Amino acid sequence: MTPARNPLIAAPTRRPTPDGPSRTRSQTRRDASVARRLATVLTAVTSAGALLVTGGAAQAAQAQPAQVAQSASAAAAATQPAQQAPSAPTAPADTRVGGTTVARAGSVGAIVSSIDRALRASEIRNFGKPTRTGAVAVHFGPQTQDRVKSFQRRNKLPVTGVVDERTYNLLRPATKLTRGLNTVGRSVQGRAIQVRVVGNLATAKRRVLLMGCVHGNECEGVPVLRSIANSTPPAGVAYVIFTYPNPDGRTAGTRGNARGVDLNRNAIGWQPASARGNPYYPGTGPLSEPESVAIHDVFRAARPTAFMSFHQALRCIDFSGRGKQWAGTYARISGLPVKELSAYRGSIGTWVGNRYPSMVSLTVELPRPVPAWMIDSNIAAVKRVATRH
Ligand SMILES: [Zn+2]
């Protein structure tokens, strides 16, 4: 059906809320003030006794990176039971825009266990055994920091003890994706996180990653993905269909994952923002959630040339990376208007725009409910972008 028959285009849209790679100036100010308040309550404890570190965490980290990092990690060890997310972020944030910090001393969560496992594998390859024995670490302490430095030294990387994206990618080779269904991780509650590959990913020039329901209560774009998954891609095109990156949220019907983390605020480039309980709660640090680790892995494995993520219900097309060129095409075919919203730190779209500027990245905000004709028009729009970009 043609967009001209779309009755929703003329309909008034609600004021955009920060969904997809978007934020407003007032939100930026609000978040900055929250970050400052959090920084002032950052309490660090040394083994010699209690030492209260106040003031901006970022400035303090610049002045005395080792001391603050170690103190913060000691504080985290003292105050955080294993695997229990704190109510407010405690990991020192990488405050640079588009920062590539993945984990550092003080980090907790899924990313830390993932790094620990990768360090073990690397140490076994190099020394025949891991340098640390016992349970998999869930807390990035001084010992992990030393092992990271040793890895960086072995691989001729800057020896910082901070796992940046470059270190992480070298430490943890990307998952292999094969044709058909692939399990790429487990959710907080243990559900399989799966992606389907349609076509030949190894030879396709155009690799298109479609994400259906990263917010568990915004799943009405899924029929678009189902249709694409059942189609035969044109020559040179492969689809990676990531329908449910947040299976716990989907089951519970919640935006966030089982820990209440908004996975679209938990990507690399993360910043501390709202507290747990807020729908936009970003978690304790970048990739702190197992679902986010899996999403990051899928990007590395698929090396998409185009990425389209389906949300609700702002009725627009937003873009990042090289998506600007294609947002208009998608809009014309789908019947949804282009709406440029500024980047939101920690969102997948913002990370993609910084990390892969040549990728066509579109955020599709469907209405709620989605009329049947719009499922068809979005299938057509996906196919057009997939074959031409
Ligand atoms: Zn959403």
Model confidence over 81-98: pLDDT tens digits? 333 334 434 444 444 434
Q: Which tens digits make up the pLDDT trace of 239-280?
A: 999 999 999 999 999 999 999 999 999 999 999 999 999 999
With 50 as the cut, is the pLDDT of residue 299 above it? yes
Residue where the block lists tokens 């449910």: 244
- Residue 90: per-residue pLDDT: 42
Res. 74: pLDDT tops 70:
no
89 compared with 148, residue with greater pLDDT? 148
CA of 302 to the centre of ligand 1 (A): 22
Terminal Cα distance for the chain, rounded:
22
Domains of the chain: 3-16+177-388 (3.40.630.10), 31-93 (no CATH), 110-171 (1.10.101.10)
Q: Which residue did the predictor score with more confidence, 26 or 115?
A: 115
Å from CA of 144 to ligand 1 middle: 35
Q: Ligand 1 centroid to 374 CA: how many Å?
A: 18
Residue 63 has pLDDT above 60, yes or no: no
Q: How far, in Å, is the centroid of ligand 1 from the Cα of 310?
A: 7
Tokens of 107: 């980090």
- pLDDT bin (cut points 50, 70, 90) of residue 120 is very high
Mean per-residue pLDDT, 226-239: 97
How far apart are the CA of 203 and the centre of ligand 1, in A? 32
- Res. 52: pLDDT tops 80: no
Residue 100 pLDDT greater than 60, yes or no: yes
Question: For residue 115, what pLDDT band results from cuts at 50, 70 and 90?
Answer: very high
pLDDT at 318: 97
Task: Say how many Å lie between the CA of residue 265 and the centre of ligand 1.
Answer: 10
Angle of the 372-388 helix axis to the 324-334 helix axis, nearest 10: 150
Q: What is the mean pLDDT of the chain?
A: 82
pLDDT of residue 188 exceeding 90, the answer is yes
How many angstroms does the Cα of residue 352 sit away from the middle of ligand 1? 16
- Residue 106 Cα to ligand 1 middle (Å): 29
Ion ligand 1 neighbours, Cβ < 5 Å: 19, 215, 218, 311
Report whether 361 contacts 352 (CB < 8 A).
yes
Å from CA of 328 to ligand 1 middle: 20
The mean-pLDDT minimum among 208-217, 341-350, 377-386 falls in 341-350
Q: Has residue 187 got a pLDDT over 50?
A: yes
Confidence category of residue 7, pLDDT binned at 50, 70, 90: very low
In contact, 74 and 90? CB cutoff 8 Å: no
Please answer whether residues 215 and 237 qualify as being in contact, where contact means their C-beta atoms are separated by less than 8 angstroms. Answer: no
Cβ partners under 8 Å of residue 24, min gap 6: 16, 18, 342
Residues of the chain with pLDDT > 90: what percent?
A: 70
Report which DSSP code applies to 234: P
How confident is the model at residue 25, as a pLDDT? 43
Query: Rounded to whole angstroms, how far apart are CA atoms 155 and 153?
Result: 5
Distance (Å) from CA 17 to ligand 1 centroid: 10
Q: Find the 351 Cα to ligand 1 centroid distance in Å.
A: 16
Q: How far is the CA of 64 from the centre of ligand 1 (A)?
A: 38
pTM of the model: 0.78
Average pLDDT over residues 207-218: 98
CB 238 within 8 Å of CB 198:
yes
How close is the Cα of 20 to the center of ligand 1, in Å?
6
pLDDT of residue 86: 40
Q: How close is the Cα of 368 to the center of ligand 1, in Å? A: 12
Distance 311 CA to ligand 1 centre (A): 4
CA angle 348, 352, 356 (to 5 degrees): 165
Q: What percent of the chain has pLDDT over 70?
A: 74
Roughly what angle, to the nearest 10 degrees, separates helices 222-229 and 372-388?
Answer: 50
Greatest alpha-carbon pair distance for the chain in Å reads 72
> Rounded to the nearest whole angstrom, what is the distance from the C-alpha of residue 153 to the centroid of ligand 1?
41
pLDDT at 328: 97
What is the predicted pLDDT for the residue at 19? 54
CA distance 32 to 14: 25
C-alpha 326/C-alpha 312 separation (Å) is 20
CA 228 to ligand 1 centroid distance, Å:
21
**Average pLDDT, integer, range 100-114:** 96
Quote the Cα angle for 19-21-23, to 5°: 70
The predicted model gives 130-155 an average pLDDT of 95
Output the CA 214–ligand 1 centroid distance in Å. 7
76 pLDDT above the threshold of 90: no
- What separation in Å is there between the alpha carbon of 218 and the centre of ligand 1? 6
- Name the residue with higher pLDDT: 95 or 167: 167
Query: How far apart are the CA of 127 and the centre of ligand 1, in A?
Result: 45
Query: What pLDDT sits at residue 192?
Result: 98
Residues 129-134 have a mean pLDDT of 92
Q: How far is the CA of 26 from the centre of ligand 1 (A)?
A: 20
